[in-house]
Amino acid sequence: MPKVIKVEDLAKAYQLGNFGTGTISRDIERTWARLRGKEDPFLKIGQVNNRDISGTSDVVWSLKDINFEIEQGDAVGIIGRNGAGKSTLLKILSRVTSPTLGSVKIKGRIASLLEVGTGFHPELSGRENIYLNGSILGMRKAEIKRKFDEIVDFSGVERYIDTPVKRYSSGMYMRLAFAVAAHLESEILIVDEVLAVGDAEFQKKCLGKMGDVSKGEGRTVLFVSHNMASVKALCKKGLVLAHGQSQYSGSATSAITYYLKGNSVSLNKKQFERQYDKPEFTLHEISLNPKGKTADDALDEYQEIELNTIITIKTDAANLHLTYVLNNENGEALFTFSHINSGKKLKKGKNQLKCFFPKGFLNIGTYYLSIYLIENSKTTLFSENDILSFDVQEGEREIGSWMGKEPGFIKPVFEWAIDRDN
């Protein structure tokens, strides 16, 4: 298969705070270096984009030393934690922004969906935006007209197709934007984590269409998502980014395994300094420990497990609650849980929120916890996927009993009754 994307020594640096070095002579030195094709001397002091540590440089490498090739028809999943550089990479490939160093060679037209309504003009109707997007891709009016009905039918916004898109809800915006990007005849489709805006039915529809695009039509798909199950279902290849650098490249399955297990050390406790210090809250710590013990103690299948979250709320907390999602080692969501119906409420100030998993609830294995701070039961103020990983080990069993892991991820202890006829 021919190569459609080739990235060599790609890097993107951003300067924090005010632009410029602070003196005219140094600004001239930087400009002169660029004009001569030399390396910017002030980029040498830049640091990788690691939010877990405090930095001393005002130059941050959002991406650095990225190299990969993508063949025609490949479906590639780009995965990594928030801030890993995924969106920056897609913006460079989509020519929204330019790299600081390195080169990107692309063969073919690109349709990208980086944000809800990318490329849409809010004052134009849905119909007009379909033609506008097609023209930007270099398509003729006849080509767009041939695909028009299919786009509108897929998006499900036919009733509002002549309404200015500024009046669309975010879901309608995303439906039409995805339909346009997927159906217009581009050779490369780039999709960021925007499908989360849509409902579950439409997300499934989008994933099916992207599968058709890569497998049936032979077009290339680059897909960024935190949903490992979606990446595994859609993509054959995977690229793992961490702190702006490429950590792993291989099959989608092996990339997911590396991201979930090899790239993160399983710990029962994480403390945060200024990493999650926001105007509305500060997240201090998340930990799991056997009830009555510390987070340094191992968790096993027969213990009652205590989940602790320490958070300071800086605003009115009446309508705030924390929601958690527990995922297995394949990135599949096992269940969602929250304190919203418990009668326990967050208060302004420092809160230590505790949740108890009963004995025997979690089976042996590795688990990944995601956290969400929700306002008014509908607005997500903050979220972090895979904020904590932990292992549940095999507990003590009687000699002669079966050793190992039973099937499944949870093993609840139910109440039983047996009625007998006398």
| pLDDT on residue 40 | 60
Query: Looking at the structure, do residues 319 and 275 belong to the same domain, yes or no?
Result: yes
Q: Examine residue 108 and state whether it is found in any structural domain, yes or no.
A: yes
Q: Examine residue 17 and state whether it is found in any structural domain, yes or no.
A: no
Query: Looking at the structure, do residues 150 and 283 belong to the same domain, yes or no?
Result: no
Higher pLDDT, 237 or 46: 237
Task: Label residue 69 by pLDDT band (50, 70, 90).
Answer: very high
Query: Looking at the structure, do residues 204 and 352 belong to the same domain, yes or no?
Result: no
Query: Looking at the structure, do residues 113 and 236 belong to the same domain, yes or no?
Result: yes
| pLDDT on residue 68 | 94
Q: What is the CATH number of the domain that holds 325?
A: 2.70.50.60
pLDDT tops 60 at residue 57: no
Query: Looking at the structure, do residues 170 and 245 belong to the same domain, yes or no?
Result: yes
Q: What is the CATH number of the domain that holds 190?
A: 3.40.50.300
Q: Examine residue 335 and state whether it is found in any structural domain, yes or no.
A: yes
Query: Looking at the structure, do residues 273 and 386 belong to the same domain, yes or no?
Result: yes
Query: Looking at the structure, do residues 118 and 221 belong to the same domain, yes or no?
Result: yes
Which of 247, 262, 277 lies at the terminal end of a domain, its last residue?
A: 262
Cα–Cα distance, 32 to 25 (Å, whole number): 10
Q: Examine residue 296 and state whether it is found in any structural domain, yes or no.
A: yes
Cα–Cα distance, 209 to 194 (Å, whole number): 15
| pLDDT on residue 7 | 94
Higher pLDDT, 283 or 364: 283
Token pair in block for residue 166: 């500024």
Token pair in block for residue 341: 């119906």
Which of 262, 287, 316 lies at the terminal end of a domain, its last residue?
A: 262
Per-residue CA distances from 133 to 151, 290, 337 (Å): 12, 56, 41
- Judge residue 265's burial from the number of C-beta atoms within 10 Å of its C-beta, 0-12 exposed, 13-18 middle, 19 or more buried: exposed
Region for residue 83 given its phi and psi (left: phi exceeds 0; alpha: psi -120 to 50; beta: otherwise): left
Give the contacts of 325 (CB within 8 A, at least 6 positions apart). 333, 335, 336, 369, 370, 372
Question: How many domains would you assign to the chain?
Answer: 2
pTM value? Answer: 0.61
Q: List 5's β-bridge partners, or say none.
A: 70, 106
| pLDDT on residue 201 | 75
Query: Looking at the structure, do residues 169 and 96 belong to the same domain, yes or no?
Result: yes
Q: Examine residue 173 and state whether it is found in any structural domain, yes or no.
A: yes
Q: Examine residue 300 and state whether it is found in any structural domain, yes or no.
A: yes
Token pair in block for residue 11: 């890097």
Mean local confidence (pLDDT), 152-162: 92
Q: Examine residue 246 and state whether it is found in any structural domain, yes or no.
A: yes
Query: Looking at the structure, do residues 247 and 292 belong to the same domain, yes or no?
Result: no
Query: Looking at the structure, do residues 387 and 241 belong to the same domain, yes or no?
Result: no
Which of 242, 262, 282 lies at the terminal end of a domain, its last residue?
A: 262
Q: Quick check: 280 and 381 in contact, CB under 8 A?
A: yes
Q: Examine residue 207 and state whether it is found in any structural domain, yes or no.
A: yes
pLDDT tens per residue, range 182-230: 887 788 989 887 665 556 677 778 878 888 888 778 889 999 987 777 7
Query: Looking at the structure, do residues 206 and 285 belong to the same domain, yes or no?
Result: no
Q: What is the rounded average pLDDT for all residues in the chain?
A: 82
Domain residues for the domain of 374 are: 269-393
Query: Looking at the structure, do residues 239 and 339 belong to the same domain, yes or no?
Result: no
